[in-house]
Amino acid sequence: MTRTLTAGGLALILANCAPTETVTQYGGSAYDWRLTEIDGTAVRFDATLTLAESGAVDGTGPCNGFSGRQSAPYPWISIQIDFVEELYCSGIDHEETYLTALSEMTLVEVAGPTMIMSNEAGRQMVFSGIGSDGQSDP
């Protein structure tokens, strides 16, 4: 009987530690996101990101679309990019910068139509929520 209670108690503790609340439960899925800054510098290329409650991640860079997943519990983020289209354009260097920075982010904060990702190395990405009219919300 003691083993059953101990094993059951351990299972209950582990279940409560499981990462069930991701950034999407804190506003991350409220918008499609447009990248506005990397490391304090305004970006001059188009880059978007969508975070689904299922953990799916989709987005676009200056040249290609991509998809992946994210399951880290809030306030952490860990985007794993699984697929990137392979089209070349003049903005391919910007796209590489975007995708590399995105994969390096470890923390996320959502405050209304603003989402900020950062890491311990001091890097930061700022996103603005895209309204239904396709423009960034104020």
Ordered by where they begin, the domains of the chain are 21-130 (2.40.128.270)
Output the pLDDT for position 132. 53
Number of other CB atoms surrounding residue 33 within 10 Å: 25
Q: Of 121, 126, 113, which Cα lies nearest the Cα of 28?
A: 113
Q: Average pLDDT for residues 33-55, to the nearest whole number?
A: 97
Residues forming a β-bridge with 120: none
d(CA 90, CA 95): 10
Higher pLDDT, 128 or 13: 128
On whether the pTM is more than 0.95, the answer is no
pLDDT tens readout for residues 45-84 = 999 999 999 999 999 999 999 999 999 999 999 999 999 9
Number of H helices, E strands in the chain: 2, 9
Cβ contact 94:43 at 8 Å: yes
Output the pLDDT for position 138. 54
Output the pLDDT for position 100. 96
